[in-house]
């Protein structure tokens, strides 16, 4: 039981940043914007959170710094694609490359430093429940935020008036504009939310998952988050299942090596990305379901006076 509990705890830690980053991208894509810069925003959030924590000594201020950094960085993408109507795919890729480069420069003097780990919040009585207690009631605040964000985004998209407008913009920006919805402002806010979530996911990497700064520490998680959005059919609650599935695959390589299983380490390290490819192939076979759930205006530019 102790081994199972340890494995599940590591799966939760590995899955949390995937769920948060994918959730932000889900809201962004629901508004009709395809932002491939999740990886760049995550790594910027990671370095900003680590640097702010080292300077202030408070991981909570580090979390705030990661959120703000991700949100601000996302607005560069929003300005280029929504105001200047640049190509969203090319701009997203450029944002990732820019984030990887800038984060490496900002974190250069912090390489090798021992970080300040975000301590878990222990809920009295509940945390003492065997097996369940440590898994659910002795976690860090970012884990609880991830669950709250999923519930909040689900309510926002499918139960609120503003969420209905956002989905209308993603499905038909021309019709939404004709009905008086400010399409550009809605998309700016959606992109900012996606950037803030990516920054929070990055903060989890440098404050919880590995409390130190390592260059390119997002290690492709931003791309997995993009695949998770498609995997979940743009529905928030499905993200949890997908996020924990990919988290389990990521952790399995570490435990397989620890148990001495005779599989090449290079193959084990590639498992999360192989799983991503397999999932995308399986999803592509059911084109009808994908087309029904995909926002119709996804990736399409909008200019009000045309």
Ordered DSSP codes for 167-201:
HHHHH-HHHHHHTT--HHHHHHHHHHHHHHHHHHH
25-81 pLDDT, tens digit per residue, is: 999 999 999 999 999 999 999 999 999 999 999 999 999 999 999 999 999 999 999
- At 214, list the tokens: 């390592």
CATH of residue 91:
1.10.3470
Is residue 298 included in any domain, yes or no? no
pTM: 0.92
Is residue 255 included in any domain, yes or no? yes
Q: Which domain holds residue 110?
A: 2-114+130-293
Share of the chain above pLDDT 90, in %: 61
In whole angstroms, give the CA distance from residue 301 to residue 116.
Answer: 43
223-253 pLDDT, tens digit per residue, is: 999 989 988 889 899 889 888 988 888 787 7
Is residue 121 included in any domain, yes or no? no
Is residue 123 included in any domain, yes or no? no
Is residue 190 included in any domain, yes or no? yes
Is residue 302 included in any domain, yes or no? no
What is the domain count for the chain? 1
Is residue 191 included in any domain, yes or no? yes
Instruction: Report residue 259: phi and psi, to 5°.
Output: -85, 0
Tell me what pLDDT residue 142 has: 96
Is residue 207 included in any domain, yes or no? yes
């Amino acid at each position: 039981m102790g081994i199972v509990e340890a494995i599940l705890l590591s799966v939760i830690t590995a899955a949390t940043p995937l769920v948060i980053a994918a959730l932000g991208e889900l809201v962004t894509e629901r508004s009709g914007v395809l932002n491939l810069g999740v990886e760049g925003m995550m790594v910027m959030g990671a370095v900003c959170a680590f640097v702010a924590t080292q300077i202030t000594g408070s991981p909570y201020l580090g979390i705030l710094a990661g959120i703000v950094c991700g949100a601000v960085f996302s607005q560069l993408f929003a300005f280029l694609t929504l105001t200047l109507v640049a190509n969203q795919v090319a701009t997203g890729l450029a944002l990732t490359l820019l984030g990887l480069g800038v984060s490496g420069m900002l974190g250069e003097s912090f390489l090798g430093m021992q970080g300040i780990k975000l301590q878990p919040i222990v809920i009295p009585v509940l945390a003492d429940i065997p097996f369940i207690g440590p898994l659910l009631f002795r976690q860090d605040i970012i884990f609880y935020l991830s669950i709250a964000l999923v519930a909040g985004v689900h309510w926002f998209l499918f139960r609120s008036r503003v969420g209905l407008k956002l989905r209308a913009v993603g499905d038909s920006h021309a019709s939404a504009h004709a009905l008086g919805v400010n399409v550009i402002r809605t998309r700016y806010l959606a992109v900012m939310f996606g950037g803030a979530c990516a920054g929070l996911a990055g903060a989890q990497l440098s404050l919880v998952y590995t409390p130190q700064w390592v260059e390119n520490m997002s290690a492709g998680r931003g791309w997995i988050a993009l695949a998770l959005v498609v995997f979940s059919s743009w529905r928030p609650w499905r993200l949890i299942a997908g996020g924990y599935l990919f988290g389990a695959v990521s952790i399995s390589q570490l435990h397989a090596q620890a148990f001495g299983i005779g599989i090449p380490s290079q193959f084990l390290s590639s498992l999360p990305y192989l799983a991503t490819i397999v999932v995308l192939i399986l999803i592509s076979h059911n084109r009808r379901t994908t087309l029904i759930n995909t926002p119709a205006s996804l990736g399409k530019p909008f200019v009000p006076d045309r």
